[in-house]
Chain A
């Protein structure tokens, strides 16, 4: 498990070299989007409209921040639970998105889309919104302003800490991490990923 510093956008080569369990420290531009914005983006694509940002190697952050206090670029901004974006995520990866940051388990369809398109699923620490806000230097709404906290925002981040959960070759850190600590007599065992290495 390595510590990898990346600047955006991600290249195919960078993505290939990042493995489940690696710490991925991000500097550059990322875009926020959660449920409502994903629905709009996928609807827009179906209607032949372009995404509100260049998707190639882009990083999407599943977060809905609190309003900034005077002097803050952005309010608290921890990750939201990712499965709610599972319905839309394969389409976004098809468009060239390099990684999404969230928290929690992904569907088999999303994990297959990561392998197929050469992309990553990263997690930041849920509930650490005040800490993560410190890594955001600038924020501006770039689409769907009417969605408020759910609008698409362009964030400039400096060393945003994440962990790679699912990599482009089927590695799954939730499984790898939990299988080390599950007790032999536990009532439920971690589920082995279908598309494992």
Chain B
């Protein structure tokens, strides 16, 4: 058994959120650089120029690349031989988020209740996702998820007869409907299979995959490419002003499913795709 003090978790998370908001991760930088070369619209290229200038300023001056510094998503893969000491793990996570968002001059965007809508003033509570895995390590992944792209997400319980064609149509229509609202070029996360709640989680988790990495199953990797091609035919382009790059990547995560169902979920992220991982 290995002991990890929860204060170490809190400190790590505080730092991770600041860095995720100041430094665009290398996988996204590479995807934007590639897309700049691919984009055929002059207006689209000018937008890419602004995005590159923007992430350079953010990095150099340690300021948030986007004013929507997001909901604080915290994913933990907890080795089953880890024992947490010094307090309750979830409290430490919230403490880390509050510290990162306060000390890091990040925006506090979380409201206490969907109808009362009073700001909690420190961006807590964090949205926490945990998984128990073999071993004695703790892997922390954080994601600052912007609200504009999150609002464009969709979920549908398709009938099995819809097949891949139905999934394809649902995804492309969701991206077309999102258009400029979700700040393209996008990273499109898709869940397929599972049930009502698992499919949404799959879509969310697919966004954590490094941009440029494909689904390990060649059949699903080919479907990711097929959807990327279809999405980039839409002509939406950077910021919806018209162009050939609407999405930087399409990620699909799948799981087994009940014989009656074909659930599909689309969770969209913007070009300011802020994620970071640390293993303790």
Residues of A within 8 A of B (CB): 36, 63-69, 72, 75-78, 80-81, 83, 103-105, 123, 125-131, 133-134, 148-149, 161, 163, 173-174, 176-183, 185-188, 190
Contacts and interface: CB of A to CB of B under 8 A. Distances in A.
Contacts, number: 174
A72 to B, nearest CB: 8
A181 B43 CA distance: 12
20 contacts: A72-B63, A80-B148, A81-B148, A103-B148, A103-B181, A104-B148, A105-B240, A125-B50, A125-B51, A126-B180, A126-B239, A130-B54, A163-B241, A177-B242, A178-B179, A179-B242, A180-B242, A187-B233, A187-B234, A188-B234
Contacts of B105: 66-69, 75
A66 B106 CA distance: 6
Q: Does more than half of chain A's interface fall in helix, strand or loop, or is it mixed?
A: loop
Given A126-B66, A181-B237, 14 more contacts: A36-B117, A65-B67, A69-B105, A104-B148, A125-B47, A127-B65, A128-B50, A128-B53, A131-B50, A177-B241, A179-B235, A186-B233, A186-B235, A188-B176
Contact of A177 (B41, B271, B272): B41
Most A CB atoms within 10 A — which of B51, B62, B68, B105? Answer: B68
Interface residues of B, number: 55
Contact of A188 (B47, B117, B172): B172
A75 B230 contact: no
Contact of A181 (B67, B172, B242): B242
Contacts of A126: 66, 148, 180, 183, 239, 270
